[in-house]
Amino acid sequence: MTETKLSHLAETLIGSEIVKLGNAITVRINNGEKIYNYTIGDFDPKIFPIPQELENLIIESYQQKNTNYPAGDGVLELRKSVSSFIKEWEGLDYSTSEIQIACGGRPLIYTIFKTFVDKGDKVIYAAPSWNNNHYTHLTDAIHCLIECTPENNFMPTAEQIAPHIKAATLLCLCTPQNPTGTTLSKEELEKICDLILEENKQRGEGEKKLYLMYDQMYWMLTYGKTKHYNPVSLRPEMKQYTVFVDGITKAFASTGLRVGWAMGPENIISKMRALLSHLGAWAPMAEQKAVAKYLLQKDAIEKFFLHFKSAIEDRLHKIYDGFISLKSKGFNVDAITPQAAIYLTVKVDLVGKKTSEGKLLASQSDVTDYILSEAKLAIVPFSAFGASKNNPWYRVSVGTCKLEDLKELFEKLEAALQKLS
């Protein structure tokens, strides 16, 4: 067959590495293998169902025949509820005209990029981080990549951002962060905000400003002494330069309901709305109507979180303890103490080791394949999130984790590590 020439974007675009890995795992599961699949940032509804009150409201909403097109900016009741919800829970003041509803965070992030970024503009983002490398490619922008380290909980610092800030158009921050489950400290976020404000003061009339995309999809899922901070509460003047990405997706185990929202200056939200009107990336009408009612039920939300958060935190700590136990036995693994989200950052540094069959683990990809084949553990390398191919750190997602599996999992992982020399 003659090779078809496609667009430059189509020819150069890399598909989701996580989806590719997930597909390979699905094949193994379908072939009868028992795989501990902690790759996808999703929930098993049998383990983590959506709130019962929300489920009831969705059923009721469909029974009321809410199945037509919603308003392009989101139904008014939902935007009012979001406005009340973020005021009540986070102390943020946004009117309905400063809120845009969409089908989850992805179309909002893409629309933020398309609203701010022209071809050749500079976009600053951390690695690892979720999909910023791909969205930068989609907009034909210049990658200003900050390779983050465990010493800073894999979060970018103001010091690392500063060299890239001149003439940059967009800075992407996510906290709590996917894939790391770590957070930005109050002090570091304040420093980053001050950098942005100072830079924008230096820019001339008519010159593009530097904007902050602040993805806080996991902000309600923090554990222990960890606290979530946002730029607008810390520096109110940041409101004119910040667009939030948020929604029910992760906080309420509602990934399939597809209800997300952005918050930002009205003039920017209106441009995002126009873009989204061409994409048709609306959240379903019935779900919007149901979420509008649910977000106002503070007692029900608090009750849901009592179990939901503790169940996630329990899994994160048990897996963390398992890796630290293996580390104490001399194996070259490690983990960062759980802070937030549904993710744990773990290290599996086995490059250079040989299997019992004499095969060399020559690359991190070999390590990933080895622990999948020998320990049946499926986790996502940070290279899938923009980090270097030889990065030995991984994301563990606990949304599908069964507590009763963990003892057997760590027995298999230890046995697999013992086979290496």
Strands (E) located in 375-417: 377-378, 380-381, 393-397
Q: Model confidence at 18, in pLDDT bands (50, 70, 90)? A: confident
Within this chain, do residues 352 and 263 fall inside the same structural domain, yes or no? no
pLDDT single digits (tens) 103-125: 999 999 999 999 999 999 999 99
Spatial neighbors of 196 by CB under 8 A, at least 6 apart, are 165, 171, 210, 212, 238, 241
Position 352 in a domain: yes
- Tell whether 124 is covered by a domain: yes
Q: What is the DSSP string of 190-242?
A: HHHHHHHHHHHHHSPTTSPPPEEEEE-TTTT-B-TT-----HHHH-GGGGGGE
Phi, psi (deg, nearest 5) at residue 38:
-115, 40
Residue 377 in 3-state DSSP? strand
What's the length of the chain?
A: 421
Contact 395, 382 (CB under 8 A): yes
> Of 42, 12, 88, 420, whose CA–CA distance to 257 is shortest?
42
Query: Are 283 and 316 part of one and the same domain?
Result: no
For the record, the structure tokens of 287 come out as 């779900």
> 73 lies in which domain range?
52-298
| 269 and 137 housed in the same domain | yes
Question: What residues form DSSP beta bridges with 414?
Answer: none
Predicted confidence (pLDDT) per residue in 284-296, tens digit: 999 999 999 999 9
Is residue 325 over pLDDT 90?
yes
Q: Is the pLDDT of residue 17 over 90?
A: no
Same domain membership, residue 405 and residue 363: yes
Tens digit of each residue's pLDDT (9 = 90 or more) over 20-50: 777 778 888 888 889 999 998 999 999 999 9
The total number of structural domains in the chain stands at 2
- Same structural domain, 203 and 101: yes
Residue 153: per-residue pLDDT: 95
Neighbours of 76 (CB within 10 A): 13
Shared domain check, 252 and 207: yes
Instruction: Taking residues 290-318, report their average pLDDT.
Output: 98
Lowest pLDDT segment from 14-23, 173-182, 244-253, 294-303:
14-23
Name the pTM for this structure.
0.95
H helices present in 203-254, as ranges? 231-234
For position 278, what pLDDT does the model report? Answer: 95
Strands 260-263 and 99-102: antiparallel
pLDDT (0 to 100) of residue 19 = 75
pLDDT for the residue numbered 32: 85
CB atoms within 10 A of CB 14: 9
Rounded-to-10 torsion of CA 186, 191, 193, 197: 150
Q: What Rg value do the Cα atoms of the chain yield, rounded?
A: 22
Token pair of 198 as six digits: 């100072």
| pLDDT, tens only, 358-410 | 999 999 999 999 999 999 999 999 999 999 999 999 999 999 999 999 999 99
Q: How far apart are CA 73 and CA 51, in angstroms?
A: 25
Give me 294's structure tokens: 């649910």
Exposed, middle or buried: residue 421 (CB in 10 Å: 0-12, 13-18, 19+)? exposed
- DSSP symbol at 340: B
Q: Are residues 266 and 406 in the same domain?
A: no
pLDDT-derived band of residue 2, with 50, 70 and 90 as boundaries? low
Same domain for 294 and 320, yes or no, is no
Q: Is the pLDDT of residue 85 over 90?
A: yes
Residue 352, SS3 per DSSP: coil
Are the C-beta atoms of 277 and 66 separated by less than 8 Å?
Answer: no
Q: Output DSSP code: residue 360.
A: B
Residue 326: which CATH number?
A: 3.90.1150.10
Whether residue 2 lies inside any domain: the answer is no
CA atoms within 13 A on the CB side of 175: 24
**For range 80-98, the mean pLDDT:** 98
Query: What mean pLDDT comes out for the span 148-174?
Result: 97
Last residue of a domain, one of 270, 298, 326: 298
Domain end point (choices 266, 298, 330):
298
Comparing C-alpha atoms, which of 394, 397, 81, 84 is closest to residue 255? 397
The pLDDT score that the predictor gives to residue 10 is 87
Going by pLDDT thresholds of 50, 70 and 90, the confidence category of residue 308 is: very high
> Beta-strand (E) ranges in 342-389?
343-348, 377-378, 380-381
Residue 1 has pLDDT above 60, yes or no: no
